[in-house]
Amino acid sequence: MKLLAYLRSLISAVQHRNHEDGDLDEEFLAHIQSHADDLERSGMPRAEAERQARIAFGGYARVKEECREERGGFWFESLWKDISFGLRMLYKNPGFTAVAVITLALGIGANAAIFSVVRGVLLRPLANQDEDRLLYLRQSATGDDDAAFSIPEIKDIGANLKTIKELGTLSQLDFTVVGLGQPREISAGVADGNYFDVMGLKPVLGRLLNPGDDGPNAAGALVLTYRFWTTSMHSDPTVIGKTVRLGSFEGTRSATIVGVVEPSVPYPIETQIIANIVTSPHHLSATMVEGRVHRMTEVFARLAPGAELESARAELNTVYAGMLTAHPEVYKPSDHYQITVTRMHDQINSRARTILWVLFAASGLLFVIACSNVANLFLARTVRREPELALRSALGATKAVLRRSLLAEALVLCGAGLLAGVLIAAPMVTVLSRYAARFSARAVGLTLDSSLLWIGVALALIAAVFLAFVPRLPSGDSSKGFGISSSSVRITGGSRRRLRIFAVTQITASFLLLAGAGALLRTLLVLQRTQPPFETAHVLAVNLPVMSDGRTPEQVSEFYREAQRRVATLPGVERASTSFATPWRDARFLNLSFSFALQGAQRENALDDPRARFRSVSPGFFETMGVPILEGRDFDDRDRDGAERVVIINQSVAKQLFQGQDPVNRELRWTDPVMKFIGISYEPRRIIAVVPDLDDQDLIPSQAMTVYQPTNQEGWNGRLFVRAKTDPYALVPSITREIHEIAADQPVEHASTLDDIRTEVMTPDRLNAVVFGGFASLALLISVVGVAGVLAFSVSGRTREFGIRLALGASPRHVLTDVLIEGLVIAVIGVTTGAVVGFVSARAIAKYTADFQVPGALPLVVSAGLILAAALIASALPAARAAQVDAVQALRSE
Amino acid sequence: MNPQAELLPGTLDLLILKAVSLGSLHGYGILLRIEQISGGALLIEQGALYPALFRLVRQGYLKASWGTSDNNRRAKYYELNAGGRKRLREEEEAWNRVVAAMTLVLGAEAVQS
């Protein structure tokens, strides 16, 4: 719309101009006629009088031009004329124009796109009301640097705060939801009645949870998130009032859908529905209410009116310190318990911030490269045009006029670059926001807005002004200026130096980008080359969430045994087993690790007990994964609740804690204080087998101590693994059918092979490499064009020199190597500068973020080699041309 | 000797302002009036008049409006506005100072020491 208005005003300005031109004519004619009248009165014939009057008036067109100039607004008008002149000039040099416009488009487009994403993800305020007064609380201690809170802790901290208006709490839980379409597992939050008030969110439909929904006697109520409502419920307003069954690990409750919350960023986890506390039996249990170390609750806070972040921090620190001293048995001073208070906005952005600013820096480098390149081309062209400029200058054009015509041309170039840039920016934003969505929920559904255009316009203007002021103009002093007489191009020292500087700048920036991309690519390659320690291609993982609605734990266990049995007999299935977590995907479960103690094993010292990863697997799990049992026996059907408690340990436990002794038949028991809250006993368990280390959590396998329990004891279940003889995905329908025959309302979800899960988990690394690799290749391409341009230009300017040298007997090979060396020198200086700049900035960055890794030597060496090779290729063509200079021709052209 | 005086640079604006200060005039009228007042001694190049007029309009000293001349032609009339009157006064004073100084200098006679 704004563009239309602008065009309209432009048109009216031109019309206005024509109108005023008419005025000028009328005024001048009146003058001439009046003069003629006087002459006629003095006796001259009319025709002669008019002729005389015209002569007396002088050069009609010149006077008109001068008047227009005096009237003002002339500058713009001339600029317009210059622009059309510029358009014609560019049209006549399609090669130059295309290269310059494409380069600018890349520079402008990439920057505009990334800025849009940075703005949308980092800078835009959250939807929450008064979002800058919304805080997020975490605590940390040695061994656990980022923990949520337990209910007793929240009670201790939250009482009588002056700087905080209210605390809101939310804990994550997966509900198996029956009554909303297909039964399925839904990621949910269980919130107290203050949560929505603290978050500053409003309903778009119905109501949200309030303090009336708290307490054990309230009716079950749940609120849908906007995203879930629109995507899964198709924005159906009749869902309000519907009653659904919510199943969690300690039982199933009914709840009524009371409302839909406005669109907002879910944090810290993507929740689809938010229910009140009564919907989760676990939240009402003593474990939850009294367990001081049962930390599963997120705490949000809203600053009291007038209070500031700093004062809230101070008060919370004081209150927290008081709690620590009141419970020394839980908070050992050696563990350094600490509370952290951050603004919600900063917290949400924390993951995306670094990566986006790095991207922004990368695109900034690309812009610098693009501008340098176009500046080079532009400068080279201006130097060629020096005779023309000198001629115009001699004919009376002032420096300002010449600069204006250069500016006009630069504007035309950058305008075209802007148009093309905006066109490529739109799809880039889509790709980038998908990329950024990996780091921030805020990038989901990011849309294009006018800021993209404005940032593009700003960049184009910057580039245009830069381009217009780079070339040197002929000065009035003829001794320093350039002659018009010589038709051949003579390059002045200043222009040549500038050309080199731009070429070096491009090489420097490209090298930095290449080195960065190289480091990321290497990370990816290492990940891809790493062989997972177990079978992945033929193993299908399927989610079978626990459905405890109306069933005893024994019945639930029996369901999984039955499922495993029936699936195993399906044609095409080699082996089936169950577990409680899918490798790589279920990070929340895979993270579980508890402290334990061995009987008979050497305790390293009296300090804390060792910790091991906790896994719950069914009989046949190791066989399904293609992992041998090194010693002892696998779990079997005898290992049930009530029977002797058994575990299997991995090699790391055996090696680190038994040191050569035989671990089989030794006893192990969990000692972690958390155990009593999750229903796992402290009784001793007999070690029945040792298996190799099979890291199912990290992409690069580590040697983490792991203890396996049978799913049939203290039943932790929910994932089915099927080893297929042929195509695993072909089995999905028959598996689903088989499961539904046992239990019709059992969700069967997210079937994919372990291979695909691994690939999916690696996506961020791949995207990193692709995005930065893309940037770096663009930069390299532009730089090659830039270096080639500079050298070609330099060669054409030295034609005479080469001619003389060849005439004096220099061999063409000498000339050739001369030019090649010139190109290499530019590249070497660029790479060296890049290395220095990179080193300095890496040290600066390392000061601010701990997780910054300096790329290894390999990517650096490879990038440097690439740049040098590219420079050589870029110099080859100009060098060949220099060697082929015909001496006689070159000298005659003088 | 040529009875017509060479127009000094920078004096055209002053002459135009003065001519117009006596009553609103169109371009040709301004020429005639300057010629007439100076007794034909000052002749203005016609082509130079209009750029000067446009400049004075842009600078805000003159106001232009369309009207009808004595011989029934549509013509653009110029008149002084407040800024123009002030400018005229200043220019006149400056000119008088220059003239006085020039007269003094040119009237000096050699003094024997």
Q: Taking a contact as any Cβ pair under 8 Å apart, which residues of chain B between 79 and 108 contact chain A?
A: none
pLDDT tens for A495-504 read: 677 777 877 8
Identify whether A342 is part of a domain. Answer: no
Identify whether B3 is part of a domain. Answer: no
A843: CB partners within 8 A, 6+ apart: none
Q: Cβ contact (<8 Å) for A23 and B73?
A: no
- pLDDT of amino acid A170: 92
For range B69-87, the mean pLDDT:
83
Look up the domain containing B32 and give its range: 12-107
Mutation target among A70, A71, A74, A75 for the B interface, most CBs of B within 10 A? A70
Identify whether B27 is part of a domain. Answer: yes
Query: Domains in chain B: how many in total?
Result: 1
DSSP3 helix / strand / coil % (chain A, rounded to 5)? 55, 15, 30
Identify whether B102 is part of a domain. Answer: yes
Mutation target among B16, B31, B43, B46 for the A interface, most CBs of A within 10 A? B46
Q: Taking a contact as any Cβ pair under 8 Å apart, which residues of chain A between 538 and 567 contact chain B?
A: none
Query: Do A216 and A250 meet the contact criterion of CB atoms below 8 Å apart?
Result: no
Tell me what the pLDDT averaged over chain A comes to: 80
Q: Cβ contact (<8 Å) for A63 and B51?
A: yes
Domain final residue, candidates A311, A335, A359: A335
Identify whether B72 is part of a domain. Answer: yes
For range A698-717, the mean pLDDT:
84
Q: Cβ contact (<8 Å) for B46 and A69?
A: no
pLDDT higher than 50, residue A484: no
Share of chain A above pLDDT 70, in %: 88
Identify whether A91 is part of a domain. Answer: no
- Cα atoms in the 13 Å half-sphere on the side-chain side of A130: 13
Burial of A540 (0-12, 13-18, 19+ CB in 10 A): buried
Which 3 state secondary structure label does DSSP give A353? helix
Q: Cβ contact (<8 Å) for A56 and B46?
A: yes
Using CA atoms, how far apart are residues A622 and A147, in angstroms rounded to an integer? 32
- pLDDT of amino acid A274: 92
Q: Cβ contact (<8 Å) for B28 and A28?
A: no
Q: pTM for the full model? A: 0.63
pLDDT higher than 90, residue A223: yes
Instruction: Closest CB to A31: pick one of B28, B55, B71.
Output: B28
Using CA atoms, how far apart are residues A583 and A594, in angstroms rounded to an integer? 18
Chain B CB contacts of A56 under 8 Å are 46
pLDDT higher than 70, residue A608: no
Q: Of A183-187, A194-198, A283-287, A779-783, give the range with the top mean pLDDT.
A: A194-198
pLDDT higher than 70, residue A552: yes
Could you tell me if A601 and A672 lie in one domain? yes
Identify whether A411 is part of a domain. Answer: yes
Domain final residue, candidates A72, A100, A117: A72
Matching residue, tokens 């089936």: A576
Query: Do A373 and A505 meet the contact criterion of CB atoms below 8 Å apart?
Result: no
Look up the domain containing A676 and give its range: 546-746
Q: Cβ contact (<8 Å) for A30 and B73?
A: yes
- pLDDT of amino acid A480: 42
Query: Do A601 and A552 meet the contact criterion of CB atoms below 8 Å apart?
Result: no
pLDDT tens for A785-795 read: 777 777 777 77
If you measure CA to CA, which chain A residue comes closest to B27?
Answer: A31
Could you tell me if A263 and A372 lie in one domain? no
pLDDT higher than 50, residue A1: no
Could you tell me if A40 and A152 lie in one domain? no
How distant, in Å, are the alpha carbons of A63, A591, A701 from that of A696?
87, 10, 8
Could you tell me if A778 and A808 lie in one domain? yes
Could you tell me if A613 and A645 lie in one domain? yes
Identify whether A82 is part of a domain. Answer: no
- pLDDT of amino acid A517: 77
User: Which ranges of A151-291 does DSSP label H, i.e. alpha helix?
Assistant: 151-158, 195-199, 226-231, 281-284, 286-290
Identify whether A359 is part of a domain. Answer: yes
Query: Domains in chain A: how many in total?
Result: 4
A41: CB partners within 8 A, 6+ apart: none
A257 vs A677 pLDDT, higher one = A257
pLDDT tens for A809-847 read: 888 888 888 888 888 888 888 888 888 888 887 777 666
- pLDDT of amino acid B28: 85
- pLDDT of amino acid A854: 59
- pLDDT of amino acid B11: 80
- pLDDT of amino acid A543: 87
- pLDDT of amino acid A77: 63
Could you tell me if A329 and A409 lie in one domain? no
- The domain that holds B53 is classified in CATH as 1.10.10.10
Identify whether B2 is part of a domain. Answer: no
Could you tell me if A593 and A650 lie in one domain? yes
* Residue A344 banded pLDDT, cuts 50, 70, 90: confident
Q: Please choose, from the candidates A246, A313, A237, A305, the residue with its C-alpha nearest in 3D space to the C-alpha of residue A280.
A: A246
Q: Taking a contact as any Cβ pair under 8 Å apart, which residues of chain A between 16 and 55 contact chain B?
A: 23, 26-28, 30-31, 33-35, 37
Sheet holding B62-68, edge to edge: B25-26, B74-80, B62-68
In DSSP notation, A171-211 reads EEEEEEEESSSS-EEEEEEEE-TTHHHHHT--EEEE----G
**Do the bridges between strand A251-261 and strand A221-224 make them parallel or antiparallel, or are there none, so unpaired?**
parallel
Picking from A14-18, A604-608, A776-780, A858-862, which range would have the lowest pLDDT averaged per residue? A604-608
Could you tell me if A164 and A302 lie in one domain? yes
- pLDDT of amino acid A361: 81
pLDDT tens for A516-529 read: 777 777 777 777 77
pLDDT higher than 60, residue A440: yes
* Residue A482 banded pLDDT, cuts 50, 70, 90: very low
Instruction: Closest CB to B46: pick one of A30, A57, A67.
Output: A57
Could you tell me if A299 and A225 lie in one domain? yes
Instruction: Closest CB to B58: pick one of A31, A66, A70.
Output: A70
Using CA atoms, how far apart are residues A157 and A791, in angstroms rounded to an integer? 70
pLDDT higher than 90, residue B80: no
- pLDDT of amino acid A479: 40
pLDDT tens for A137-165 read: 998 887 677 788 988 899 888 888 888 88
- pLDDT of amino acid A16: 54
Query: Do A292 and A151 meet the contact criterion of CB atoms below 8 Å apart?
Result: no
Predicted-complex ipTM score:
0.84
* Residue A136 banded pLDDT, cuts 50, 70, 90: very high
- pLDDT of amino acid A286: 78
Query: Do A144 and A295 meet the contact criterion of CB atoms below 8 Å apart?
Result: no
Q: Of A63-72, A165-174, A881-890, give the range with the top mean pLDDT.
A: A165-174
* Residue A4 banded pLDDT, cuts 50, 70, 90: low
Identify whether A787 is part of a domain. Answer: yes
Tell me what the pLDDT averaged over chain B comes to: 81
Task: Return the bridge partners of A614, or none.
Answer: A707
Taking chain B, what is the end-to-end CA distance rounded to the nearest angstrom?
37
A691 vs A772 pLDDT, higher one = A691
pLDDT tens for A389-398 read: 777 777 766 7
Identify whether B65 is part of a domain. Answer: yes
Domain final residue, candidates A72, A98, A115: A72
Q: Count CB pairs under 8 A between chains A and B.
A: 60
- pLDDT of amino acid A477: 44
Could you tell me if A227 and A250 lie in one domain? yes
What HEC string does A697-734 produce?
Answer: CCCCCCCCCEEEEECCCCCCCCEEEEEECCCHHHHHHH
Share of chain A above pLDDT 90, in %: 4
Query: Do A651 and A629 meet the contact criterion of CB atoms below 8 Å apart?
Result: no
pLDDT tens for B9-27 read: 678 888 888 888 888 888 8
Query: Do A260 and A206 meet the contact criterion of CB atoms below 8 Å apart?
Result: yes
For range A525-547, the mean pLDDT:
82
* Residue A131 banded pLDDT, cuts 50, 70, 90: confident
Share of chain B above pLDDT 70, in %: 88
Matching residue, tokens 């593009």: A456
Q: Taking a contact as any Cβ pair under 8 Å apart, which residues of chain B between 11 and 40 contact chain A?
A: 26-29
For range A101-124, the mean pLDDT:
83
Could you tell me if A391 and A500 lie in one domain? yes
- pLDDT of amino acid A486: 44
If you measure CA to CA, which chain B residue comes closest to A29?
Answer: B75
Identify whether B6 is part of a domain. Answer: no
Burial of A169 (0-12, 13-18, 19+ CB in 10 A): buried
Identify whether A121 is part of a domain. Answer: no
- pLDDT of amino acid A160: 82
Query: Do A730 and A535 meet the contact criterion of CB atoms below 8 Å apart?
Result: no
* Residue A270 banded pLDDT, cuts 50, 70, 90: confident
* Residue A299 banded pLDDT, cuts 50, 70, 90: very high
Identify whether B18 is part of a domain. Answer: yes
For range B52-76, the mean pLDDT:
81
- pLDDT of amino acid A259: 92
Could you tell me if A247 and A393 lie in one domain? no
